[in-house]
């Protein structure tokens, strides 16, 4: 069994996963409310809260798995990318736990975790490489070609904002709470997606994304309509804005399937929890005749099970080689 810890942003996460990819426990202590009054994650507050929570969350994960530390064979931890202070809490904690029992430790790329979420046992056959994965989260948006589950090749990525950032910033312009993505998702279900015309930007000949112009278009539209009209048409604005983001994501995914002649597709990252994206990707993959893996929502947003999932395909560092392991805000 692998014990994994993930603290790259504002969720304190720990999980126990078997070497076969079966999830025994997956604990997420969300700090969302703590940051809501600031309208975004405050890095210093996030690290302090991780420090307060990480031991209890890890103990919960072991208890939930009905496992003692003596049954754990290796430890995995998110090394980056993310908020450096937040990452350091997880890395230090994982090093401490691993060293106390001289266990091996696997440093994991957070994005690799999102890419392999669908290789975990989800109540159906997990996806097998080769497959394409669309990852859309708060900090990243890219399409990965997975030839071997131990790594991935990036076919295209966002040139500016991430899709989750576009959701959060759009939600803020519409006066919704934080985090904005889930709220915008809910509100959009009551609106008309054809009510407003927002730009669908597909930059260049490749598979890159761009979302910053969309956010600006919403800003102008909100100013033009004025407070009263925005209030009255908030659901229509949400639905139309969401449709623009989702259309771009699905279009690039369809193009990637064509170019790579992919037969299997997976999605991951917080935005993969979006109802409209899930619906539209399902429709697109049905039409293309390719297999689709959509993880349950709790495996899309940040969690430690996916970090253990990535560690299954990595060579862990034996004790004591990892004692000088450092967190990294960016990975090369
Ligand atoms: O993967 P994740 O939990 O953290 C990062 O690695 O960034 O992604 C968080 C992002 C946030 O921007 C959040 O608003 C977005 O995912 N998100 C959603 C939904 N649930 C989470 N966006 C749209 N619809 C949702 N249902
Ligand atoms: Zn993430």
Quick: pLDDT tens for 163-180: 999 999 999 999 998 889
Tell whether 327 is covered by a domain.
no
Position 179 scores a pLDDT of 82
- For a ligand 1 pocket test, name from 29, 112, 138, 268 the mutation site with the most ligand atoms within 8 angstroms of its C-beta: 138
Rounded (to 5) percent helix, strand, coil in the chain: 45, 20, 35
Domain with 154 in it: 123-294
Position 69 scores a pLDDT of 96
Q: What is the largest CA-CA distance in the chain?
A: 63
Residues 161 and 262 in one domain: yes
Tell whether 328 is covered by a domain.
no
Residues 105 and 151 in one domain: no
- Of ligand 1's listed atoms, the one at least distance from the Cα of 138 is 7
Tell whether 161 is covered by a domain.
yes
Q: Which long-range contacts does 322-325 make (Cβ < 8 Å, 24+ apart)?
A: 322/95, 322/98, 322/104, 322/105, 322/107, 323/95, 323/99, 325/79, 325/91, 325/95, 325/105, 325/107
What H or E segment, with its residue span, contains residue 131?
strand 131-136
Residues 279 and 140 in one domain: yes
Residues 85 and 172 in one domain: no
Tell whether 316 is covered by a domain.
no
Quickly list H helices, 67-179: 84-100, 110-116, 163-173
**For the chain, which ranges sit under pLDDT 70?**
none
Residues 173 and 270 in one domain: yes
Half-sphere exposure of 47 (CA within 13 A, CB side): 13
- Of ligand 1's listed atoms, the one at least distance from the Cα of 179 is 14
Position 316 scores a pLDDT of 97
Using DSSP, state whether 204 is helix, strand or coil. Answer: coil
- What's the predicted TM-score (pTM) here? 0.97
Residues 143 and 271 in one domain: yes
The angle subtended at Cα 77 by Cα 84 and Cα 313, nearest 5°, is: 130
- Ordered DSSP codes for 273-284: G-HHHHHHHHHH
301 CA distance to ligand 1 middle (Å): 6
Task: Read off the pLDDT of residues 272-312 as tens digits, 9 standing for 90 and up.
Answer: 999 999 999 999 999 999 999 999 999 999 999 999 999 99
Short-list 142, 132, 130, 81, CA closest to 107: 81
Tell whether 320 is covered by a domain.
no
Q: Residue of the nearest CA to atom 8 in ligand 1?
A: 270
Alpha-carbon span 250 to 195, nearest angstrom? 20
Tell whether 331 is covered by a domain.
no
Position 15 scores a pLDDT of 98
Tell whether 318 is covered by a domain.
no
Position 121 scores a pLDDT of 85
Contact residues for 325 (Cβ-Cβ < 8 A; gap 6+): 79, 91, 95, 105, 107, 317
Q: Residue of the nearest CA to atom 2 in ligand 1?
A: 270
Residues 250 and 132 in one domain: yes
Q: Name residue, tokens 């994501």.
A: 249
In this structure, what CATH number is given to the domain that contains residue 9?
A: 3.30.420.40
- For a ligand 1 pocket test, name from 169, 174, 270 the mutation site with the most ligand atoms within 8 angstroms of its C-beta: 270
Residues 33 and 129 in one domain: no
Residues 96 and 55 in one domain: yes
Residues 183 and 94 in one domain: no
Residues 95 and 185 in one domain: no
Using DSSP, state whether 23 is helix, strand or coil. Answer: strand
Total domains present in the chain: 2
Residues 288 and 139 in one domain: yes
Tell whether 176 is covered by a domain.
yes
Alpha-carbon span 315 to 297, nearest angstrom? 28
Position 33 scores a pLDDT of 84
């Amino acid at each position: 069994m692998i014990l994994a810890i993930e603290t790259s942003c504002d969720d304190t996460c720990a999980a126990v996963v078997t070497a076969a990819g079966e999830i025994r426990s997956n604990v997420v202590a969300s700090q969302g409310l703590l940051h809501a009054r600031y309208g975004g994650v405050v890095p210093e507050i996030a690290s302090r809260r991780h420090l307060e929570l990480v031991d209890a969350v890890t103990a919960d994960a072991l208890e939930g798995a009905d496992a003692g530390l003596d049954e754990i064979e290796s430890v995995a931890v998110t090394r980056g990318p993310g908020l450096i202070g937040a990452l350091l809490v997880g890395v230090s904690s994982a090093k401490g736990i691993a060293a106390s029992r001289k266990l091996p430790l696997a440093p994991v790329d957070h994005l690799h975790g999102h890419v392999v979420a669908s290789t975990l046992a989800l109540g159906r056959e997990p996806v097998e490489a080769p497959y394409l994965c669309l990852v859309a989260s708060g900090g990243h948006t890219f399409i990965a070609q997975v030839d071997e589950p131990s790594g991935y090749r990036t076919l295209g990525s966002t040139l500016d904002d991430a899709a989750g950032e576009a959701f959060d910033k759009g939600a803020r312009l519409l006066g919704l709470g934080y985090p904005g993505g889930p709220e915008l998702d809910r509100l959009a279900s009551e609106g008309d997606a054809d009510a407003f015309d927002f730009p669908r930007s597909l930059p260049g000949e490749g598979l890159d994304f761009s979302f910053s112009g969309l956010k600006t278009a919403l800003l102008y539209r909100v100013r033009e309509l004025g407070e009263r009209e925005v209030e009255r048409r908030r659901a229509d604005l949400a639905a139309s804005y969401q449709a623009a983001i989702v259309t771009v994501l699905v279009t690039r995914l369809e193009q990637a399937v064509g170019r790579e002649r992919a037969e299997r597709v997976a999605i991951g990252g917080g935005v993969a929890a979006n109802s409209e994206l899930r619906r539209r990707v399902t429709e697109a993959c049905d039409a293309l005749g390719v297999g689709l893996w959509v993880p349950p929502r709790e495996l899309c947003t940040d969690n430690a099970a996916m970090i253990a999932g990535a560690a299954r395909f990595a060579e862990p560092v034996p004790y004591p080689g990892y004692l000088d392991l450092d967190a990294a805000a960016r990975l090369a």
